[in-house]
Amino acid sequence: MFIMSEDSQRTQGRDAQSSNIMAGKAVAESVRTTLGPRGMDKMLVDSGGDVVITNDGATILNEMDIEHPAAQMIVEVADTQEEEVGDGTTTAAVLAGNLLGEAEDLIEQDVHATTIVEGYHEASEIALEAIAEQVDEADVDDEILRQVAESSMTGKGTGGLTAETLAETVVDAIQHVDTDEGVARDNVTVHTEVGASSNATELVPGIIVDEEPAHDGMPSEVEDASIAILDVELDIQTGDVDAEYAIDSIDQLNAAIDAEEGELQGYAETVADSGADVVFTTEDVADRVANALANEGILVFEGLGDSDARQVAAATGARRVGDLDDLEESDFGSADRIHTESFGGDDLAFVEGGAAAETVTVFVRGGTEHVVDELERAIGDALDVVATALESGEVVPGAGATEIAIADKIREEAAGIEGRKQLAVTAFADAVDIVPRTLAANTGRDPIDVLVDLRAAHDSEGRAGLITKGDEVTIDDPFEYGVVDPADVKREAIESATEAATMIARIDDVIAAE
């Protein structure tokens, strides 16, 4: 009796577990060398020849052509980490891979997968308690936020800028959108433009739109601007049905021309009479209308995408209008200043101040496309973690110190756990050690020696991490060196890695249908 298709493939038992675990470990290993301030970059080349150079874990895993379903779960771990807290993607992926490796060793010792899952979940609860104990009791002030941002960006491609310089820009951006209701992270955008040194990166108090004026004669700068946003075509209206008109005389031709001219002039007069200084429209603007508005000193941008129109509306407080006859002053938004600038042939519109000041833009510059892309990723992660730290008010030591504390507490608690589950709990602690071990390996130090020294320093001092400052590598309190991470980054890494590893470890039957 055939139950499944003849083309179906089925892997069962220990073979299925081994295959899944091997795939998960391979994916995690692919990003391990990118971890930490001395982590290396990866160059990813797709079938079309496009190149991505990065050491961001989530970006690397998403760019890789991964087909194995278990390996894709590790990619999902990094994606979840990125979406929830913005950083720690490599840590989460590496931890998940090593939890699988420890689980494989236990399975070979005939420890049942259910026992491993139970032990891992119990160990993860202990890990969360250890993270809570490591939280710094000091208030998260501007200096700590700067340290969080700098720690996030250290080791990432920041062009000619230091992480310290970028950290100040990041903190300024997040503080700008800190409200009584919380941090409005969505009000911070990152705009990249190739063509200058990364030292030209700056914070713009408003938004940047990739548009140019509809007419060369329009002003390049408008101060104290009243802004209208239209979903209206300022051009001759045409029907959906093809039609031809027969003109038998010059008078008829002149009448048709006059009618068109009157229609276009009507659009220009309506806009000018409304009192708007600047107009953004998602539709086209006829040359004659643009010329008339230019003569009135009105700045017009045409053909905006829907997302840009929504962004301008949100930033300026303007309401989008779908009928020109409905345009009223109450629909206008405002901004202190709107100006246009040209960068390497690209014209950009800067909407600054006023209502737009609720939104800020980090304007990233770089000499090449690869530089600005990596800068954008680094700054995006830093913005996320600073927002997370500001909202939670909890930070923990970085540089592997929190992982050392987690492993130490888990081993301490494991002594009181009965049965084989103790083996799984202890294995979880061994897996967590991969973070300081990898940091040590990436700095050229012996991982075993460093791990021993870190444990000894933790026992005596209560807090110890592997600090990298310039060419110096030392073991000390990360807080003394400003190496700090949001507590939520560590929590999310533990939780997501544990869930993925336990899900994969429980699979003992893989059915692949063609």
* Catalytic positions, written as ranges: 56, 89-90, 381
Alpha carbons 284 and 339: distance in angstroms, whole number: 21
Residue 375: Cβ within 10 Å count: 25
**CB 277 within 8 Å of CB 299:** yes
**CB 229 within 8 Å of CB 333:** yes
DSSP line for 16-32:
HHHHHHHHHHHHHHHHH
Sign of the torsion formed by the C-alpha atoms of 377, 28, 469 and 84: positive
Residue with tokens 């923990």: 396
**CB 214 within 8 Å of CB 302:** yes
Alpha carbons 431 and 103: distance in angstroms, whole number: 10
Residue 139: Cβ within 10 Å count: 7
Residue 263: Cβ within 10 Å count: 16
Contact partners, residue 458, CB within 8 Å, separation at least 6:
401, 404, 405, 408, 464
Name the maximum alpha-carbon separation found in the chain: 103
Alpha carbons 284 and 240: distance in angstroms, whole number: 17
Burial class (CB in 10 A: 0-12, 13-18, 19+), 109: exposed
Q: Which structure tokens are listed for 17?
A: 């577990």
DSSP conformation class of 331: G
**CB 488 within 8 Å of CB 85:** yes
Query: How much is the CA Rg of the chain, to the nearest whole Å?
Result: 29
Q: Which structure tokens are listed for 465?
A: 């991490």
DSSP line for 56-71:
-HHHHHHHS----HHH
**CB 222 within 8 Å of CB 350:** no
**How many residues comprise the chain?**
514
| φ/ψ (deg, to 5) at 363 | -90, 105
